[in-house]
């Protein structure tokens, strides 16, 4: 696992999926690598600043500026983005009042808006589709129907209405859809919907697609009313059905136009209805899609015979059954199978059942087994895992299994072939799962393991402050040596990536981090154990103290100096010595602490380090007055900490040390550091040293060298006046 933290050891040039072998993976890479559409960028800015850009009405609601008008496609997309980001409320929805927004497709999934707001702000529009899936109980189904029926245009032209998991008060029976005469598609999955409601719906003159899954329907005979127009019927987990199987088949047999039938079961309701259906020869002659996932007693032979008698079939759902393993299912051209027998079947299941947690759990479990030893980058598969996590945030089994699948798909070098945006989404979803299930240890371990990936730590955007707090939590609690090594190694890298403000925000965590890291260093030193945990602990302390006086103070208050001396006296390895030297250099930059370093022991050890041949030195010219040489110890965020020393002509030795440091860092990476030095105003300080008559001649020579290097690398600055 430590291997993951060394980018140089993993293949950075891993090629993306071949478009011919993995079309879906290639498509995902292309989409994720493309910039966001300009309209999305603009709408995101508008959503983020909605209350600043939109004036308030006297009643406190928002309105669009007077001359703003949105085309229908943009207005639909804007509403969808507001809903997706959780920004749709009674107050913000008020911008859709009036005619400046022309809506056709209303998506208010999981939104918390009232019935009055829905009717006032949306039902005057010419709507053709409404998706109110899992909308808040403040907007129950009867109020949605009442609002939609308040418009004659909507009554005649609304084509699609999705009410999955919406609430129905018990005192509002029955539901009345009769006025929505233009409705073609209705979904009431997981809604308080009864047989009398089905009788009402079946009379809609244009109804073609109906989903009554997990409802209270006991009798489906009312479907005979729409037998000549119903094309798709979904009855997943119809647990209250009281009809006998012959009675059910008698109804289905009359549905001559039916192309899609879903009678899939549930772990709490495994029916044998599908088994008997497969034996029927004079039923569903035109069927194209049959879903019998989760059903009992299903065999390959029975399914094969059913499909062979209906050659137009293009899909069959077999997840959670004993079928799907025959060669027939791979050999038949044009047939898609959602099952668990192969990776292609599992991926079809993840795609088809993305909104059904019971099947998502099964599919992810099978995916984990299939991808345990995968060595091919599969971005399309990781994208399906992310969709499952996003759609079921409160399902522990989904979150845990998905986190394990994500680890399989991102391990070692595989992450280098994944799009950054996709990796970022997965990591953010993992942290969201941690918030929802803070006490589930194995889920936390999976998240910790994902952070050991060099690609994720170096290139992927995510909330590093939250990640640092999470990792520190493991550092405090877990005494497992492997976990401790992982936590310290991750934190050592995160510490360098945090801004100074973020380090300050760690507050008490920062104090505990320094204390815990020093305790680890002291323990390893006392036991004379030179292992990765010791190295990562020193690296974390080095990075934490960089330009952070508060951290340096915590370090000194917890006997950090004495522990560092003990380390130097115990270990002679140059890697350890370099980290100690860098750590103490950070402390020395804090004015009120620098005097505490001027002890005989510290000076003796630092002098030894600076003259040590084991520490790699830069090839800088040797100065007669000193043999002290500077090593590339730190990735500098700024040169500003050197400026007080550069301008201090009363302490030539300090000024000379600062010049050596600046020269050495700039010479290692001039394209980055010379430019940083110029932008921060350091060139003028170098000129002051060059022209000052009392300056140390060696200091003047180094200043000239830095300025000449700068002019050589940056043509745009060559006119900088020669000092």
* pLDDT 10s digits, 497-507: 888 788 888 87
* 3-17, 440-454, 631-645: the lowest-pLDDT one: 3-17
For the chain, the first-to-last Cα distance in angstroms comes to 53
Q: Give the phi and the psi of residue 289 in degrees, each rounded to 5.
A: -140, 125
Q: What is the pTM of this model?
A: 0.81
What is the structure's pLDDT at 611?
Answer: 67
Q: Report the C-alpha gap between 367 and 355 in whole angstroms.
A: 17
CA dihedral of residues 541, 442, 376, 32 (deg, nearest 10): -70
What is the structure's pLDDT at 36?
Answer: 85
Q: Write out pLDDT tens, residues 88-134.
A: 999 999 999 999 999 999 999 999 999 999 999 999 999 999 999 99
Mean pLDDT of 202-231: 97
What is the structure's pLDDT at 625?
Answer: 32
Which residue in this structure is represented by tokens 């479990």?
Answer: 365
Q: Report the C-alpha gap between 318 and 291 in whole angstroms.
A: 7
Q: Write out pLDDT tens, residues 261-302.
A: 999 998 766 788 999 999 998 899 999 999 999 999 999 999
* 3-17, 29-43, 303-317: the lowest-pLDDT one: 3-17
Q: Report the C-alpha gap between 349 and 362 in whole angstroms.
A: 9
CA dihedral of residues 578, 581, 586, 587 (deg, nearest 10): 150
46 has a pLDDT exceeding 50: yes
466 has a pLDDT exceeding 90: yes
What is the structure's pLDDT at 8?
Answer: 36
What is the structure's pLDDT at 629?
Answer: 36
Rounded to a whole number of angstroms, the CA Rg of the chain reads 34
- Alpha helices of 332-480 — where are they, by DSSP H? 343-352, 357-370, 379-391, 396-410, 420-436, 441-450, 454-459, 464-477
Q: Write out pLDDT tens, residues 595-615.
A: 888 888 888 887 777 666 665
Largest Cα–Cα separation, the chain: 108
Angle between helices 508-526 and 464-477 (to 10 degrees): 50
Angle of CA points 529, 533, 538, to nearest 5°: 95
Mean pLDDT of 635-649: 75
Q: 12 pLDDT band (50/70/90 cuts)?
A: very low
Q: 634 pLDDT band (50/70/90 cuts)?
A: very low
Q: Distance of alpha carbon 267 from its chain centroid, rounded?
A: 30
Contact 296, 266 (CB under 8 A): no
Mean pLDDT of 526-530: 93
% of the chain beyond a pLDDT of 90: 62
What is the structure's pLDDT at 694?
Answer: 67
> Does the bond joining 224 to the residue before it have cis omega, within 30 degrees of 0?
no
Q: Give the phi and the psi of residue 461 in degrees, each rounded to 5.
A: -75, 130
Q: What is the mean pLDDT of the chain?
A: 87
Q: Report the C-alpha gap between 178 and 197 in whole angstroms.
A: 10
283 or 508, which is more confident? 283
Q: Report the C-alpha gap between 590 and 608 in whole angstroms.
A: 22
Q: Which residues pair with 186 in a beta bridge?
A: 161, 210
Q: Write out pLDDT tens, residues 536-582.
A: 999 999 988 888 888 899 999 999 999 999 999 999 888 898 899 88
Nearest to 472 by CA among 453, 483, 488: 488
What is the structure's pLDDT at 722?
Answer: 45
What is the structure's pLDDT at 613?
Answer: 63
Contact 532, 481 (CB under 8 A): no
Q: Write out pLDDT tens, residues 392-423.
A: 999 999 999 999 999 999 987 899 889 999 99
Mean pLDDT of 353-374: 95
Using DSSP's 3-state secondary structure scheme, residue 532 falls into: helix
CB-count exposure of residue 122 (10 Å: 0-12, 13-18, 19+): buried
Angle of CA points 623, 628, 630, to nearest 5°: 105
What is the structure's pLDDT at 618?
Answer: 32
Contact 138, 103 (CB under 8 A): no
């Amino acid at each position: 696992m430590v291997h993951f933290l060394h980018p140089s050891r993993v293949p950075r040039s891993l090629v993306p999926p071949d478009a011919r072998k993995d079309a879906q993976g290639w498509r995902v890479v292309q989409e994720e690598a493309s910039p966001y559409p300009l309209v999305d960028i603009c709408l995101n800015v508008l959503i983020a600043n909605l209350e600043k850009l939109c004036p308030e009405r006297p009643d406190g609601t928002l309105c669009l500026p007077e001359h703003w008008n949105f085309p229908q496609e943009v207005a639909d997309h804007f509403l969808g983005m507001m809903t997706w980001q959780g920004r749709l409320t009674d107050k913000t929805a008020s911008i859709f009042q009036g005619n400046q927004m022309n809506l056709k497709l209303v998506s208010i999934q999981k939104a918390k808006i009232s019935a009055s707001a829905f009717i006032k702000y949306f039902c005057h529009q010419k709507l053709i589709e409404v998706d109110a899936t899992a909308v808040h109980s403040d907007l129950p189904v009867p109020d949605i129907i009442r609002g939609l029926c308040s418009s004659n245009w909507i009554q005649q032209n609304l084509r699609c209405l999705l009410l999955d998991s919406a609430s129905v008060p018990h005192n509002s029976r029955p539901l009345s859809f009769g006025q929505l005469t233009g409705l073609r598609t209705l979904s009431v999955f997981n809604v308080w919907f009864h047989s009398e409601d089905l009788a009402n719906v079946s009379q809609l003159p244009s109804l073609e697609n109906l989903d009554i899954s997990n409802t209270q329907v006991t009798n489906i005979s009312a479907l005979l009313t729409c037998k000549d127009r119903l094309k798709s019927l979904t009855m997943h987990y119809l647990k209250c059905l009281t009809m006998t199987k012959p009675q059910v088949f008698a109804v289905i047999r009359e549905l001559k136009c039916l192309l899609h039938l879903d009678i899939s079961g549930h772990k709490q309701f495994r029916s044998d209805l599908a088994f008997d259906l497969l034996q029927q020869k004079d039923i569903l002659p035109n069927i194209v899609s049959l879903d019998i996932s989760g059903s009992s007693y299903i065999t390959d032979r029975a399914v094969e015979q059913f499909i062979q008698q209906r050659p137009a079939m293009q899909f069959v759902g077999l997840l959670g059954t004993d079928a799907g393993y025959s060669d027939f299912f791979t050999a038949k051209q044009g047939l898609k199978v959602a099952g668990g027998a192969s990776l292609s079947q599992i991926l079809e299941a993840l795609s088809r059942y993305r909104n059904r947690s019971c099947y998502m759990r099964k599919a992810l479990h099978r995916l984990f087994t299939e991808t345990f030893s995968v060595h091919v980058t599969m971005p399309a598969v990781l994208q399906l895992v992310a969709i499952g996590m996003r759609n079921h945030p409160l399902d522990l089994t989904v979150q845990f299994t998905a986190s394990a699948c994500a680890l399989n798909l991102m391990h070692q070098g595989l992450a280098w072939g994944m799009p950054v945006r996709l990796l970022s989404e997965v990591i953010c979803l993992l942290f969201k799962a941690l918030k929802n299930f803070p006490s589930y240890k194995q889920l936390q371990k999976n998240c910790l393991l994902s952070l050991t990936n060099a690609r994720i730590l170096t290139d992927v955007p995510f909330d590093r402050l939250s990640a640092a707090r999470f990792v520190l939590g493991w550092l405090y609690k877990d005494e497992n040596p492997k976990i401790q090594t992982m936590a310290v190694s991750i934190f050592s890298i995160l510490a360098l990536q945090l801004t100074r403000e973020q380090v300050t925000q760690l507050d008490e965590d920062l104090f505990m981090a320094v204390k815990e890291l020093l305790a680890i260093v002291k323990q390893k030193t006392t036991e004379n154990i030179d292992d990765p945990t010791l190295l990562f602990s020193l690296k974390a302390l080095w990075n934490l103290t960089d330009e952070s006086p508060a951290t340096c103070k915590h370090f000194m208050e917890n006997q950090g100096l004495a522990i560092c001396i003990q380390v130097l006296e115990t270990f002679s390895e140059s890697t350890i010595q370099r980290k100690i030297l860098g750590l103490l250099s950070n402390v020395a930059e804090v004015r009120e602490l620098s005097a505490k370093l001027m002890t005989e022991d510290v000076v003796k050890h630092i002098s030894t380090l600076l003259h040590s041949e084991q520490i790699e030195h830069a090839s800088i010219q040797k100065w007669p007055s000193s043999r002290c040489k500077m090593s590339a110890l730190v990735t500098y965020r700024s040169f500003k900490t050197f400026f007080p020393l550069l301008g201090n002509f009363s302490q030539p030795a300090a000024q000379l040390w600062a010049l050596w440091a600046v020269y050495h860092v700039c010479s290692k990476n001039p394209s980055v550091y010379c430019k940083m030095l110029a932008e921060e105003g350091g060139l003028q300080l170098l000129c002051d040293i060059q022209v000052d008559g009392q300056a140390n001649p060696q200091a003047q020579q180094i200043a000239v060298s830095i300025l000449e290097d700068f002019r050589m690398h940056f043509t745009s600055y060559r006119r900088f006046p020669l000092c």
